[in-house]
Structure 1
Amino acid sequence: MRKLALNDEILLKIEKPARYIGGEYNSVMKAPENVDIRFAMCFPDVYEIGMSHLGIQILYDMFNRREDVWCERVYSPWVDLDKVMREEHIPLFALESQDPVKEFDFLGITIQYEMCYTNILQILDLSGIPLHAKDRTEDDPIVIGGGPCTYNPEPIAEFFDMFYIGEGETVYDQLLDIYKENKKNGGSRWDYLAKAAEVEGIYVPAFYDVTYKEDGTIDSFVPNHPNAKEKIKKQLVMDMSEAVYPENPVVPFIRATQDRVVLEIQRGCIRGCRFCQAGMLYRPTREKDVEVLKQYAYKMLKSTGHEEISLSSLSSSDYSQLKELVNFLIDEFKGKGINISLPSLRIDAFSLDVMERVQDIKKSSVTFAPEAGSQRMRNVINKGLTEEDILGGAGQAFDGGWNKVKLYFMLGLPTETEEDMKEIAVLADKIARRYYEIPKDQRNGKCQITASSSFFIPKPFTPFQWAPMYENTEYIARAAIVKHAFQDQLNRKSLKYNWHDAEVTVLEGILARGDRKVGKLIEEVYCLGAIYDSWSDQFDNDKWMQAFENTGIDIGFYNLRERYEDEVFPWDFIDIGVTKKFLRKEWDKAMKGEVTPNCRMQCSGCGAARWGGGVCVEGKN
């Protein structure tokens, strides 16, 4: 019988002990002596968040299909168990075997958002693995990072042996085979890293040197090892229909954030919003065949017992076979007690018809993401959405019986004026007016328009990567302008406005566009006790401000200045397909308020076509 790493006394004292015991339905058990490689797959956040991550489910399934590999899962211990583990000197362990992570060959960490960086150090620290890659020995696992944040890995570069840039289904098998061969031949850790550096998409930070100019910007970023490539090319799965996908995903013991069957219908996005990193990183658009998705729906519902199916995509409405898929799911499963969840839909007649078939419309709301209140700003960000589109969609929703609308905006966008800010409230009021134009006897009670604004963060590989940010006091002042504008509207009793945390925004901006020098800030704030920074009840801005003071890192250098046109960025060594020249061209068009058509309307020559054998999914270069 499997022995748990935590005794009953500890399990009874901590919140949600089911996070740590493993043994869930569809989890994979193997005998350690029968495998050549043990891989600990980590999501550096609490269990419920990590169990909802599709990427880990895909890689977990893919690795465990190999007889010579046993992949297990690791999540960040919540603060209660973190305290106990430190006091009792209990090493961090994997869920399946309950064995210490330090005994594994690999520790793979999925890096989904910047505010989990201190949790990465928590994982290493609790595992007994040296924080700095240069201090690790032959007895330590190879620490490899993957996920969206690896498209600028420099702030956390010193904590990783290597990074996998791109989608994990492509060269992992090659990496594992090289590891086996190196181990068989008695090769060292360094020998393995040298061989891995020759694999497309693999970045070994130790094999590169960075020098800086007097102004603090990067002067050079060059390989110092013969196997290291000058450019790291992202890895993409081009045939989504044939790509590995988990038919038997692990079913959590406790309710996860996304507790449902997830059907990934496509990757990439045809839209071209200038603030959106994912829309640039995952080009070109690649669809999964509808017949394949139908089969996965059957198999995954049967293997998990879930009662909901969700479609996963950056923009579900752009999936060319959406109507056939949705109608199939509704006709096949709705009558069997299976709920259908359809995120990322544009609000049009078809979407509303579908929503009416799958939701209780008296309890639900429809969601729009105009991102900006004025048409001028929507053109600047290339949103591709007019006021007519928004009011027309809201009107159709109201006519169909909905009376609740959620609106998502951003504040602090490039070129934003006070008038643009106030237009957020004006647009919300226009939507409310559209509702009250319906005859009173045909309305579904009072309407509620809830508008939320996040604060804009320039991300690498977007046209806005050159843009400056603001101090947190300025963000709060902008939110106050919007709030007061809401109070001036005719239908203010039907309007509600809230905004995100400005202090976290400032930190995200630094971590998103930071260089290697930012690593000492992350380590310092971790040493001051910071973990779970993405959780509002755990986040402590004072610790971060103390870390800035202790390390001498200048917030203004990273956030408050506009980058110059030919500045060397920390992420310039990565080739995502979309060219820097194209991104700069989009920045210039943004400054003029010019709109770029979406990929289906017209190919704009972004460069992503190279990943499709010279032909982009939506057009030709």
Structure 2
Amino acid sequence: MNRTLEHILPKVQKPARYTGGEYNAVVKDKRTVDTRFALCFPDTYEIGMSNLGCRILYGLMNEQEGLWCERCYAPWGDMEEEMRREGLLLYALESGDPISDFDIIGFSLGYEMAYTNVLNMLDLAGLPLRSADRPELTPLIVAGGTCCYNPEPLAPFVDMFVLGEGEEVTLEYIALYRQAKEEGWSKEEFLQEAAHIEGIYVPSFYEPIYRPDGTLEEMRVKEGSGAPETVRKRVVQDMDKAYFPVKTIIPSTEIVHDRVMLELFRGCIRGCRFCQAGYVYRPVRNRNPKLLAEYGKAACQDSGYQEMTLSSLSSTDYPCLLELCDDLLDYCAPKDIGVSLPSLRADTFSMNLMERLQRVRKGGLTFAPEAGTQRLRDAINKNLREEDLLQSCRTAFSGGWSGVKLYFMLGLPTETDEDVLGIADLARKVYQCWRECTPNRARGVRITVSTSWFVPKPHTAFQWDAQIPVEEYQRRVNLLRDALKRDRSITYNWHDPQTSYLEAIFSRGDRRLADVLEHAWQNGAKFDSWSEYFDFQRWMDALAACGLSGDFYAHRERPRDEVFPWCRIDPMVTPAFLWHERELCYQSQTTPDCRTRCSGCGANRLLKGGVCNG
């Protein structure tokens, strides 16, 4: 460890975030390495270490000869202050070397409120923020993750974006980079070649042209760039052949998801109209249950973890779930290893599943009805009946569970006060189920109702819709709070509206917001998803300074023919399909799930044979 770091660490909270040296961390001999990759997560160690995508890429890259992938996380304010005071550049945990010395710096982007941390980390590394001010090939700044389906707000800062699943495309562009470095290509020459790799979006090759009213006229492909008209996302065809990180780094301090994570499948059969992940992760591809069981057992054995999570967008939609649970529990139960399912659907929770989950220990139960009335659930295509939810609660309460969390959204398209009050009514019905079914009333019950503010996202059926104004959101929160305040067994939590407003701005924003990001960062913005640092007025000042209106992005309904900033991004779910789904919403009509009937969204064209295993 370098002496400056030894001097700093006693002065900061949670120094284990910054030391490295964890079990299973990969340390290579630099003499055998020709390419170094800094895998950066723009949030704290505890959150970044919990990210399964980063675990996959870290293990995958470090299996390659001559390539060394190291980790880097955003330092908390106390650490940043000491680093700036001592002149210590942002460094990678494995080697302690400054990430500015690396060949490629890659950011994982899963939440818009982490954008200022990207800028802050580049600055802490001693690098110019904007791609145009970094003319050399090295270091190359890359970004991937769900936020990249609208890359425009970060476009001036990032050399290229990776769209879709990274296992294959990452190795492809690294191979091209190694060739470019060996042959002495310029940055421009490399980017022109990289733009031909499926899944790579080079923002400098596209130019936004605006109308006088501020809307986009077109996203013009720059002449001579050779860039494609649209950039199609990458999809891993066969999940059974995809890399899985059996050996993962065991953290030196507590992290958010400190457990084995098994990814059952990718995609989602449901088609909830508000859910970006449900659309952009299509098509559905399952993993073999025998293979999953082998991964899970090997990962527990290697790590010593006492908990395993079966994760996917909707884990109970995995067709071999009971078979997999039986296989895992035969191994886990004697060793007191818990198996949890964090993404349960209320219409697929059964007594058979409950009995399996109880074999080790009961965790919490969480269901997401999303809306309080059947009409609104049909409008958003949740495909969940009230009776299914109540029957699942009866099953759980009969089996000894004494708590359930219910998640809803406020501000969904077509929502009325009747729908808002329906949330309170549904929560009371869940409470009645407990009273009727619990074997032990003396234990009491904990029913938690949580609401978030709907954010319209790109590449969803609601990408044309407006977010309701903040005053209206607050009125609906108050309406629901008043309806629940006499129910002592029901706790109501609601999401802060200010961050959701900014999330809507940046999720649907254009390239002009880069100036807003930089202005806010220059005035202290960072860790904007943390209440300790978030300052709403700072963002309002930044928008005003740049001559932009947040309401223009968040609260404006778009006509069907408006050109979106993300129009060059192709997630393979067609705009025509999304518009049709929006029309069905306003008629409160549902679309069957993918197992019942293919809805023709377009994503199956990515698979050989054009058939998914949904």
* Contact preservation (8 Å) 1:373, 1:420: yes
Give the length in aligned residue pairs. Answer: 610
TM-score between the two structures when normalised by the length of structure 2: 0.97
**Cα distance in 2 for residues equivalent to 1:177 and 1:618:** 31
The corresponding residue for 1:588 is 583
Structure 2 vs 1, CA of residues 442 and 247 (structure 1 numbering), >3 Å: closer, same or farther? closer
* Contact preservation (8 Å) 1:129, 1:140: no
Q: Counterpart of 1:571 in 2: which secondary structure? A: coil
**Cα distance in 2 for residues equivalent to 1:54 and 1:368:** 22
The corresponding residue for 1:331 is 330
Amino acid of the structure 2 residue aligned with 1:52: S
Residue 370 of structure 2 is aligned to residue 371 of structure 1: yes
Amino acid of the structure 2 residue aligned with 1:356: Q
Q: What is the correspondence of 1:400-549 to structure 2 with a 5 Å cutoff? A: 400-438=399-437, 443=441, 445-487=443-485, 492-549=487-544
Amino acid of the structure 1 residue aligned with 2:75: P
The corresponding residue for 2:57 is 59
* Contact preservation (8 Å) 2:447, 2:491: yes
Q: Deviations over 1:167-190 (max 9, x none)?
A: 111222221121121122121122
Q: Counterpart of 1:485 in 2: which secondary structure? A: helix
**Cα distance in 2 for residues equivalent to 1:6 and 1:223:** 47
How far residue 390 of structure 1 moved from its aligned partner, in angstroms, is: 1.1
Q: What is the correspondence of 1:112-151 to structure 2 with a 5 Å cutoff? A: 112-138=110-136, 140-151=138-149
* Contact preservation (8 Å) 1:521, 1:548: yes
The corresponding residue for 1:393 is 392
Amino acid of the structure 2 residue aligned with 1:160: V
How far residue 434 of structure 1 moved from its aligned partner, in angstroms, is: 2.2
Q: Deviations over 1:310-355 (max 9, x none)?
A: 1121111111111111111111111112121221123322332223
**Cα distance in 2 for residues equivalent to 1:289 and 1:355:** 20
Q: 2:177 aligns with which of 165, 179, 189?
A: 179
Q: 1:208 aligns with which of 206, 209, 221?
A: 206
Q: What is the correspondence of 1:303-322 to structure 2 with a 5 Å cutoff? A: 303-322=302-321
Q: 2:560 aligns with which of 565, 568, 572?
A: 565
Amino acid of the structure 1 residue aligned with 2:192: A
224-233 or 581-590: bigger deviation: 224-233
* Contact preservation (8 Å) 2:144, 2:163: yes
Residue 244 of structure 2 is aligned to residue 242 of structure 1: no
Q: Deviations over 1:7-31 (max 9, x none)?
A: 3221100111111111111111112
**Cα distance in 2 for residues equivalent to 1:574 and 1:614:** 23
Alignment gaps of 5+ in structure 1? none
Cα RMSD (Å) of the superposition? 1.5
462-471 or 172-181: bigger deviation: 172-181
118-127 or 294-303: bigger deviation: 294-303
**Cα distance in 2 for residues equivalent to 1:14 and 1:407:** 37
**Cα distance in 1 for residues equivalent to 2:602 and 2:437:** 48
Q: What is the correspondence of 1:228-307 to structure 2 with a 5 Å cutoff? A: 228-307=227-306
* Contact preservation (8 Å) 2:43, 2:73: yes
Q: Counterpart of 1:169 in 2: which secondary structure? A: helix
Structure 2 vs 1, CA of residues 438 and 194 (structure 1 numbering), >3 Å: closer, same or farther? closer
Q: Deviations over 1:9-54 (max 9, x none)?
A: 2110011111111111111111223211110000110001000011
Residue 614 of structure 2 is aligned to residue 615 of structure 1: no
How far residue 298 of structure 1 moved from its aligned partner, in angstroms, is: 2.4
332-341 or 526-535: bigger deviation: 332-341
Q: What is the correspondence of 1:28-47 to structure 2 with a 5 Å cutoff? A: 28-47=26-45
How far residue 140 of structure 1 moved from its aligned partner, in angstroms, is: 4.2
How far residue 449 of structure 1 moved from its aligned partner, in angstroms, is: 1.7
How far residue 618 of structure 1 moved from its aligned partner, in angstroms, is: 4.6
How far residue 85 of structure 1 moved from its aligned partner, in angstroms, is: 1.4
Residue 44 of structure 2 is aligned to residue 49 of structure 1: no
**Cα distance in 2 for residues equivalent to 1:84 and 1:376:** 55
Q: Counterpart of 2:166 in 1: which secondary structure? A: coil
Q: Deviations over 1:355-402 (max 9, x none)?
A: 322324xxx542211000011110111001011111111111122222
* Contact preservation (8 Å) 1:401, 1:444: no
How far residue 443 of structure 1 moved from its aligned partner, in angstroms, is: 3.3
**Cα distance in 2 for residues equivalent to 1:33 and 1:437:** 69
541-550 or 510-519: bigger deviation: 541-550
Structure 2 vs 1, CA of residues 274 and 408 (structure 1 numbering), >3 Å: closer, same or farther? same
How far residue 471 of structure 1 moved from its aligned partner, in angstroms, is: 2.5
Q: 1:554 aligns with which of 539, 549, 569?
A: 549
**Cα distance in 2 for residues equivalent to 1:198 and 1:608:** 21
The corresponding residue for 1:159 is 157
Structure 2 vs 1, CA of residues 442 and 299 (structure 1 numbering), >3 Å: closer, same or farther? closer
Q: Deviations over 1:500-520 (max 9, x none)?
A: 101111000001000001111
How far residue 438 of structure 1 moved from its aligned partner, in angstroms, is: 4.3
* Contact preservation (8 Å) 1:599, 1:618: no
TM-score between the two structures when normalised by the length of structure 1: 0.96
Structure 2 vs 1, CA of residues 146 and 88 (structure 1 numbering), >3 Å: closer, same or farther? same
Q: Deviations over 1:56-110 (max 9, x none)?
A: 1111111111111111111001110111112222110011110011110000000
* Contact preservation (8 Å) 1:608, 1:616: no
Structure 2 vs 1, CA of residues 592 and 25 (structure 1 numbering), >3 Å: closer, same or farther? same
* Contact preservation (8 Å) 2:32, 2:66: yes
* Contact preservation (8 Å) 1:43, 1:111: yes
Q: Counterpart of 1:163 in 2: which secondary structure? A: strand
Q: Deviations over 1:192-249 (max 9, x none)?
A: 1111111111111111111011221111112214421111010010100111111211
**Cα distance in 1 for residues equivalent to 2:27 and 2:165:** 25
How far residue 141 of structure 1 moved from its aligned partner, in angstroms, is: 0.7
The corresponding residue for 1:381 is 380
Runs (4+) of structure 1 exceeding 6 A deviation are none
Residue 76 of structure 2 is aligned to residue 78 of structure 1: yes
Amino acid of the structure 2 residue aligned with 1:297: G
Q: Counterpart of 1:352 in 2: which secondary structure? A: helix
How far residue 287 of structure 1 moved from its aligned partner, in angstroms, is: 0.6
145-154 or 424-433: bigger deviation: 424-433
**Cα distance in 2 for residues equivalent to 1:420 and 1:405:** 21
